[in-house]
Structures are given as structure tokens and as C-alpha cells.
Amino acid sequence: MDIVYRTGEATVSEVLDAVPDPPTYSAVRALLRILETKGHLAHRQDGPRYVYVPAVAPERARRQALRHVVQTFFEGSPEEAALALLRMSDLEIADDEIERLTRRIEQARGEGR
């Protein structure tokens, strides 16, 4: 999915080329079909090849993935998820980013979230 979102579209061969130590062609093809069956991808035919494209807008996919991570690893707590991000030792947050986050939290609070 990362490859298809990054490139906008990809064939099986293009996915293989972009993956370090890739599995077999058949395995990638099968995975792309599974992702299509689950509604994550769509395809169009270009001669004998299928060209896969995201079926879900990136923003919606981000929200769904983040919601899943928060539910799975943080017992549904956005606070715990945010704290985990802030505590990451390799993550440095600039003062202006903290100010923007603070403003967005206040905005969300004002909107009743």
C-alpha cells in the first residue's frame, strides 16, 4: 500500500522493484488482489498488465489506520497515543510545532471534541 500511495499507481513488477528483498511475483500479485478484494485497491487493465491504484483517499486511509492503531495498542485512548509519540526518543518536536499542536487541541476542544 505504501508503494501504491507513494507512486499513485503501480503494477506488480513496479511493486517488486520498490520492495527490498521482495517475495515472489506470485506472492505480490496475490497480495494486491487481496487488497483489492478488501476495498483498499482498484485496478485498470493496461494491455496484459493490471495497474493498481488506491481505492481509498490517503486522508481517509490515514484516519482508518490511526483509529485502528489507537484501538489496538492504546485501548482507544488518543491521549495515550499522543503521549507515546511525544515520548519517542528519536522524535524531536520544535517549539513552533508544539505551539501549532496546542492551538489545534484548543480548536478541537472548542468544537466539542
- Domains of the chain and CATH, by start: 2-54 (1.10.10.10), 58-110 (no CATH)
pTM of the model: 0.69
Residue entry with cell 471534541: 113
Neighbours of 41 (CB within 10 A): 22
Residue entry with cell 520498490: 18
User: Residue 89 has what pLDDT?
Assistant: 63
Instruction: Provide mean pLDDT across the span 57-67.
Output: 92
Instruction: Provide mean pLDDT across the span 26-52.
Output: 96
- For residue 96, the SS3 value is helix
Nearest residue to 81 (alpha-carbon basis) of 92, 91, 71: 71
As a whole number of angstroms, the distance between CA 113 and CA 107 comes to: 9
Instruction: Provide mean pLDDT across the span 63-87.
Output: 91
